[in-house]
Structure 1
Amino acid sequence: MSDKLENIVGSGIPITIKGKEYKLGIFGMRDLADFRQYIKGQRIKIIQDVVVDKAERIESINTIMDGNVNETKELSTMDGVCFMLWKSLQKYQPEMTLKDVDDLIDLNNIAEISNIIMKIGGQVKNPPMRAKKK
């Protein structure tokens, strides 16, 4: 990425992944909100698969729904990098699925892709803690 980001945003940010050219779009607040919901959804799936007791499952799901997501921490995971790369790629390649993007990322390129995602999205600041329901 040799050009200044603001000079190339209008036409997408070119990136080569596994020998193929793509264009990345800058992600915004809506994309981060989608990311938070995705992470919560993934956690809920785990609870539904693992917790047998219905009352405990409902309580755990409510805790997840009321809780915050540490976006900075989650963006350093394979799941986080994959999801945000997908959101960015969809701006210019809307036909791409999350599965398509998952197939693009591996141990050989995750660090590079993660760095690019951090640069195009800026530094994520976690939202203030929500007041707990009484």
Structure 2
Amino acid sequence: MQDLPDLLPDVIEYQLGAQVYKFAPLTMGDLAALGSHIRQQRIKDFRAACDGLDPVIVAAGLESIIKADPDINMTSPEAVTFLVWRSLLRSQPDLTLEAVGQLLSMANVGEVTALVNQIGGASKN
């Protein structure tokens, strides 16, 4: 039987742009926060789209969004950006989600997605 520290990935240093960042292992709390983030974003988008509609209809729609499983695509740009941000928060607590979004580009999306898999424990390289 392996000890828990042996199962967790190590902190990984990775260069984005001109700076080297320290990526901490992702936790179950990070995945739960991703689900909450996606749900809150869907609620925000829904409310914006329902401006001026009957409040009863809006309330029913909101209730279904709140009760629904967020159905997360872990390789979506939104999920990758959020998980990178959560990982980096441990070493850079002032870093914003928006700033991380600016660091990631289509040019590095493959490498960053592989990095998220590694810090999430899906692969150990």
| Short-chain TM bin | 0.7 to 0.9
Identify unmatched segments of 5+ residues in structure 1: 124-134
Structure 2 counterpart of 1:93: 92
Q: Give the aligned partner of residue 127 of structure 1.
A: none
* RMSD, aligned CA: 1.9
Equivalent-residue separation in structure 1 for 2:67 and 2:111 (angstroms): 33
Query: Aligned pair in 2 of structure 1 residues 104, 62: CA closer, same or farther (>3 Å)?
Result: same
In 1: Cα distance, 2:93 partner to 2:30 partner = 14
Structure 1 residues 1-134: aligned runs within 5 Å? 9=10, 12-51=11-50, 52-71=53-72, 73=73, 75-123=74-122
Displacement of 1:100: 1.1
The total of aligned residue pairs comes to: 115
Moved over 3 A (4+): 5-8
Q: Is the 8 A contact 2:9 2:119 kept in 1?
A: no
Give TM-score scaled by structure 2 length.
0.83
> Please, what TM-score do these two structures have when normalized by structure 1?
0.78
1:132 equivalent in structure 2: none
Letter in structure 1 aligned against 2:90: K
Q: Identity rate of aligned residues, in percent?
A: 26
Relative distance call for 1:45 and 1:7 in structure 2 (3 A) is closer
Distance in 2 (alpha carbons) for counterparts of 1:7 and 1:76: 21
Deviations 1:49-99 (A, max 9, x none): 10233222211111111111223x1x2111111111000011111111111
Moved more, 110-119 or 42-51: 110-119
- Relative contact order (C-alpha < 8 Å, sep 6+): which is higher? 2
- Inter-partner Cα distance in structure 2 for 1:83 and 1:8: 18
